[in-house]
Structure 1
Amino acid sequence: LTPITSATELPASELLSKRQSSCAAGVYMIVARGSGEPQGPGRLSQVVQLIGQRIPNSVFTSVVYPANIVDFGAPAYPFSVREGIREVQRLIEARVNQCPNERIVLLGYSQGANACSTGLAGSGFGNPPLKEGLRKNIRGVALFGCPTQAANQSYNRGTATDGEGILGRTEVSLPQLNRYSNVLLQWCDRGDRVCAENIEPYDGAVHSNVVAKYATAAANHIANV
């Protein structure tokens, strides 16, 4: 286990281990990194640290999935993100089975935000929504630069609340995602083609910097939700 401030990493391989029987008194964070980041929390580590400072005795697990750097329209992207979606759902179910009363938080950046949001809402393309009995444990969600952002939702934050993600959010899955509107916030700024393709001009640095810019706001959201 690797300490990060007051949040401790729980490797996914240990989730079902008999040696790991204790449940977190704080929150249990499932962290999905962005495309091309090395395995681990990636940019989201600063959000994990800040949440750990605000909610002691918290733990986190990084989602193990390819997070391949590919064009969103390339055939490889759906395969990569689908593994992330399934792993997010698997981690949630495994943890609820182990710790039925634990508070679960999802953190996702870029492709990882796609994995988290679709892990909750499904997509209508062979990805079902999270099982109904697991919903009550989802106590906070913070997403950054999500390619499936839908415009003008109550939980949109940043300077591009009217942004439409490059992949969009299906009519089937948006109502499912909106069921989490009381615990979900997602940040997107103008210039970020990933989460606001409909707003030009684009600036690649905006997408790269969105986590750092809103890390404190996200941690405050999770601490107060």
Structure 2
Amino acid sequence: MSSVFGSAARLLTVCTTVVLAGLGVVVAAPVASAAACTDIDVSYARGTFEPGSLGFIVGDPVYSAVQSRLQPRSVSSYQVNYPADLTEPASVQQGNRDLVNHVTSQAAACPRQRFVLAGYSQGANVVDNSIGVSSDGVIVGGPIVATIPASIAPRVAAILLFGNPIRSDGRSVTGLYESRTKDYCADGDPICQFLGTNPLAHFSYGGNAADAAEFVAGKV
């Protein structure tokens, strides 16, 4: 099984590099900032090497769609501060800890604020871990190091996952957050579909932005 994960990791690296190069995108370090006391806080964990204000491939189009759909309510964003790298052994754990810290501090500072958690690829692993679903053992996964406190859980209105690696291992979000989760896996995506054969499917999730925004609107 480790050879499968290794092959998938190499494929992810190559495909991401090719796609971003083809789009003329320069990968930059993330810049994260705390959100104000808006009605809805959207925390996004980007995919491996995904550039952009939140995430060029998925985060930016999804956030834009959510923000537009939820008008006139106020919506703010937070980019989870973590390496989103394949060469950093504790990348997912860093994101897991940062996401939980952000939501916890926001919840304390903004008692009326509700939360949308979103993640793409490696970022989906970050979100999985943060809601208590371990990504350990899957590509760019790792053990849980922190979870959203139970007292805050009711304020997590919706969870959006794209190209979620735990699905390739037959896992999914169950329990407390199951009904609040939309988990997208494009047909043939080898990162979330066991033996998937279409690597480019992994870069198609921006096309789900409107559907994701509609799902969020039904939950907040």
Q: Taking structure 2 as the reference length, what is the TM-score of the superposition?
A: 0.74
1:217 Cα offset (Å): 0.9
**Residues 1-225 of structure 1 mapped to structure 2, 5 A cutoff:** 12-14=32-34, 23-25=37-39, 27-38=40-51, 40-42=53-55, 43=57, 44-56=59-71, 57-70=74-87, 76-77=88-89, 79-123=90-134, 125-149=143-167, 164-165=168-169, 169=171, 177-197=174-194, 199-200=195-196, 202-209=197-204, 211-225=205-219
Contact 2:33 2:78 in 1 (8 A): no
Q: In the superposition, relative to structure 1, how do residues 128 and 87 fare at CA in structure 2: closer, same or farther (>3 Å)?
A: closer
Q: TM-score, normalised by structure 1?
A: 0.72
Deviations 1:47-93 (A, max 9, x none): 100111111321111111000035xxxxx34x011111111111110
State the distance in 2 between where 1:117 and 1:195 align.
13
Change (3 A) 1:39 1:86: farther
Structure 1: gaps spanning 5 or more residues: 1-10, 16-21, 71-75, 150-163
Is this contact kept in 1: 2:67–2:75, CA < 8 A?
A: yes
Structure 2 unaligned residues grouped into runs of 5+: 1-30, 137-142
**29 and 148 in structure 1: CA distance in 2 versus 1, 3 angstrom threshold:** same
Structure that is richer in helix per residue: 2
CA root-mean-square deviation: 2.1
CA distance in 2, matches of 1:13, 1:203: 35
Judged with a 3 Å threshold, the aligned counterparts in structure 2 of structure 1 residues 14 and 224 are, in CA distance, closer, same or farther, namely closer
Q: State the Cα distance separating 1:213 from its structure 2 match.
A: 2.4
CA distance in 1, matches of 2:198, 2:49: 18
C-alpha displacement of 1:191: 1.2
